[in-house]
Structure 1
Amino acid sequence: MKKMFVQNEIRLHAARARHAALLSAVAGSILMVAMAGGAQAQDSITVNAYSGPWELAMRKCFFEPFSAETGIQVVVETGTASVTFAKLRQQKDSPTIDVAWLDAGYSEQAWDEGLTQEVSATEVPNLSNLSKQAVYATADGKVYGVGTGYFAYTLVYDPKKVDPAPTSYFDLWDPKYEQRVYSPAPAQSLFTPLMMHLNKMLGGTDDNFEPFIEKFSQLKPSSYYEASGVMNVTIQSGEVVMGIYYPNTAWQLFDQGVSITTGSPKEGVVASDIRMHLVAGTTKKALAERLMNFVSQPKPLECIGEEIYLGPPLDNPTLSEKASQRMPWGAGGKVSDLIMPDWHVVNAKRQQLRDLWNRRVVSQ
């Protein structure tokens, strides 16, 4: 009996040991899964986006499908290119933004100040999908910016109130439209290249801005706008009838029922693009490169072309008939029809033009 009791005790202890081992293994597996899940949940990157319809389009076309495909969360901060540029300066030693969208001009300046770093074609192989001119590189071949959509300035007007249709930027000086026209202010990224271009049309040079300053000091506008959001409200109210504005934004207003259309100024269409950048010093470089690689595919870039009529930086984008008619280069046009500034020259003249404008035009 004693022998049988000992054997039973041995078997009981063995069973308890097996049970404990099983529980330990299960607990360990649960912990590993939890840790893995926690790590995956921690995978996130911070980006900036332009506000309003731009943010909605960037979320729909870039960020949400990227997160759905990879499980990486995208934290979005909104603001203009100038605001983002200021943040990158402030955060230079410890950046919180991993991928930054900046307008041309700020793009070059951010690189020159060491706020962004080289984008590797090895880590971002989908750069090969893009038009050659949309991959911005230094003289020694270092890629510092990646174009993700073209925008422009052109003539926009209310076809019910402006007749005949304008064909020149200088139609804004028609006396019958006094106090009902609008034009950009220096805070707008395309202001300086547009004014430098118009100055040349008036006989000036990059060293003589007197023709442009004299001409604009005679304009009687409703406003020189700094923010497109405020300008949209003014256009919708019917207070203004004609101006220099973004064609893609004009078409968005048209879709909302606003009486507005675009014209083709004989002076040409000055354009730029929104570019994504790898922020210098990011601690999430690999994740940031995954997002950049995802965005550099045709589908996301064509999506933003459909959503807010930005020109996809692709040689042969596939777009609906509606979107094709509303590209910044106009129906039947192409990206090479746009006037693309030399941003190093523009940046060198920006402050001089701003000072002249504030002293000679705004103070009138």
Structure 2
Amino acid sequence: MKNRRITTFTFTAFATAFLAAPASAQESITVATYGGEWGAALQACIIDPFTEATGITVTPEPGVSAVTLSKLLQQKDAPVLDAVWMDGGVSEQAAAQGIVAPIDPEKLPGVAGMLEEGVYKDDEGNIFAVSTGYYSLGLVYNTDQVETAPKSWKDLWNGEYAGAVTFPSPSNAMGVPFLAELAKVEGTPLSEVDPVLDNIKELQVAAYFDTAGAGTNLFQSGEVVAGAHYASSAYAMRDQKLPIAFVVPEEGAIGGDIRLHLVANTPRMEAAEKFVDFAIGKEPAACMAERIYVGPATKDVELSDDAKQRMPWGEGGSVKSLSLPNWNEINDNRATVIEKFNRTVAAR
């Protein structure tokens, strides 16, 4: 979500703790992960070091969050998956349908070392997910072709960018949250999104993108010069010596995160709990931040100067600097918003 410097960690502390109680050679779990660079980072920073430390084999099952949710529903009574990564929004849906298990802080002591924002609880106070890193959507522009750098989401309507603007479509994980952010800027609830869509109809968009890679291609080809795009993608283009800059909007970059869950009814719960506890430790969090520049949800993670400058909340910021979506509001209105967008905006 890049050409990057990779930092190697020994994970000595974790190995010492876990190897004190070695696992059976046959013990293994299956974990739903992501594809592409995200999946590669999870493998290098969490999965491989966990197996090395514990002897527990992890079989990754890459896929997008919506597909993972469908698998959990299909496997509800006899799950094949033991732990799953899913994005915000889908995470709440899984919790509401009872297909993820509560996380017990007494069994996962690493929870105590997490930021409050990275621990997700249901209405009864049960933890249903923990974050393993934040990403963000902010303003990205071509420094060679744009004279006036955007500072606010409203600046996308600047005539200088006309016909060369992009932002994620509603099918992208940040598409509906982006529309929700525009609604918040306009002071209207997402359930009354029509004024936002009317404004977008006046915005001369070159193209919408369904995936982060497609958004990057639009900037690389020169088809767009400004838009809403991922911080990590902007930093990747900058590493490729492209004239691209990332700006945290004055309203705050829109934050999202990758969350880890325990699967309800898994017969391998103890091993899955060990995996989740390992994943939220400081060294895995630092590795993820250095490799793909996600903001740690674990406290007191030491980062290089390079990584600090590439955090999703901007240099000197924190998770509190992000504009975090109200996923329950988004889920309640998602279908209606997508239908209206497709009918009134995308069809034009």
TM-score normalised by structure 2 residue count: 0.89
For residues 206-230 of structure 1, give each alpha carbon's deviation from its aligned partner in whole angstroms, at most 9, with x where no partner exists.
Answer: 3421210101122222211111122
The partner residue of 2:82 within 94, 98, 102 is: 98
1:237 paired to 2:221: yes
For residues 218-262 of structure 1, give each alpha carbon's deviation from its aligned partner in whole angstroms, at most 9, with x where no partner exists.
Answer: 222221111112223333333322110110221123223333110
For residues 250-297 of structure 1, give each alpha carbon's deviation from its aligned partner in whole angstroms, at most 9, with x where no partner exists.
Answer: 112322333311013223222121110001122211111111111121
8 Å Cα contact 2:121-2:127 kept in structure 1: yes
State the match for 1:128 in structure 2.
112
Cα distance in 2 between the residues matched to 1:137 and 1:278: 13
Cα distance in 2 between the residues matched to 1:186 and 1:253: 24
* Comparing 40-49 and 333-342, the one that deviates more: 40-49
State the match for 1:15 in structure 2.
none
State the match for 2:291 in structure 1.
307
1:286 paired to 2:270: yes
Please list, as runs of the form range in 1=range in 2, the aligned pairs for 1:259-270 lying within 5 A after superposition. Answer: 259-270=243-254
1:226 paired to 2:172: no
Report the secondary structure of 2:277's partner residue. helix
Cα distance in 2 between the residues matched to 1:290 and 1:87: 22
1:138 paired to 2:103: no
Cα distance in 2 between the residues matched to 1:268 and 1:240: 22
State the match for 1:208 in structure 2.
192
For residues 312-341 of structure 1, give each alpha carbon's deviation from its aligned partner in whole angstroms, at most 9, with x where no partner exists.
Answer: 013332111111111111111111111112
For residues 33-84 of structure 1, give each alpha carbon's deviation from its aligned partner in whole angstroms, at most 9, with x where no partner exists.
Answer: xxxxxx9443221112222211111111110110111111111121222222
Report the secondary structure of 1:96's partner residue. coil
1:160 paired to 2:148: no
C-alpha change, 1:77 and 1:256, in structure 2 (3 Å) is farther
1:255 paired to 2:273: no
- Match of 1:279, as an amino acid? V
- Match of 1:73, as an amino acid? T
C-alpha change, 1:205 and 1:138, in structure 2 (3 Å) is closer
State the match for 1:182 in structure 2.
166
State the match for 2:20 in structure 1.
none
8 Å Cα contact 2:282-2:300 kept in structure 1: no
State the match for 2:310 in structure 1.
326
Cα distance in 2 between the residues matched to 1:85 and 1:195: 23
The partner residue of 1:72 within 53, 56, 63 is: 56
Q: Offset of 1:149 from its aligned partner?
A: 0.4
The partner residue of 1:62 within 46, 68, 76 is: 46
Identity of counterpart residues, as a percentage? 37
State the match for 2:344 in structure 1.
360
Report the secondary structure of 2:32's partner residue. strand
C-alpha change, 1:229 and 1:89, in structure 2 (3 Å) is farther
Q: Offset of 1:142 from its aligned partner?
A: 0.9
State the match for 2:16 in structure 1.
none
8 Å Cα contact 1:179-1:220 kept in structure 2: yes
The partner residue of 1:113 within 94, 97, 108 is: 97
1:195 paired to 2:179: yes
Cα distance in 1 between the residues matched to 2:122 and 2:160: 48
Report the secondary structure of 2:334's partner residue. helix
Cα distance in 2 between the residues matched to 1:173 and 1:46: 46
Q: Offset of 1:202 from its aligned partner?
A: 2.3
8 Å Cα contact 1:204-1:210 kept in structure 2: no
- Match of 2:190, as an amino acid? D
- Match of 1:70, as an amino acid? T
C-alpha change, 1:180 and 1:324, in structure 2 (3 Å) is same
8 Å Cα contact 2:24-2:55 kept in structure 1: yes
Report the secondary structure of 2:120's partner residue. strand
Q: Segments of 4+ in structure 1 off by > 3 A?
A: none
- Match of 2:152, as an amino acid? S
Cα distance in 2 between the residues matched to 1:338 and 1:156: 16
8 Å Cα contact 2:133-2:258 kept in structure 1: yes
Bigger Cα Rg: 1
Question: Alignment RMSD, CA only?
Answer: 1.7
1:85 paired to 2:69: yes
TM-score normalised by structure 1 residue count: 0.85
State the match for 2:11 in structure 1.
none
C-alpha change, 1:80 and 1:235, in structure 2 (3 Å) is farther
Unaligned regions of 5+ residues in structure 1, if any? 1-38
8 Å Cα contact 1:116-1:278 kept in structure 2: yes
- Match of 2:210, as an amino acid? E
Cα distance in 2 between the residues matched to 1:249 and 1:95: 34
8 Å Cα contact 1:203-1:211 kept in structure 2: no
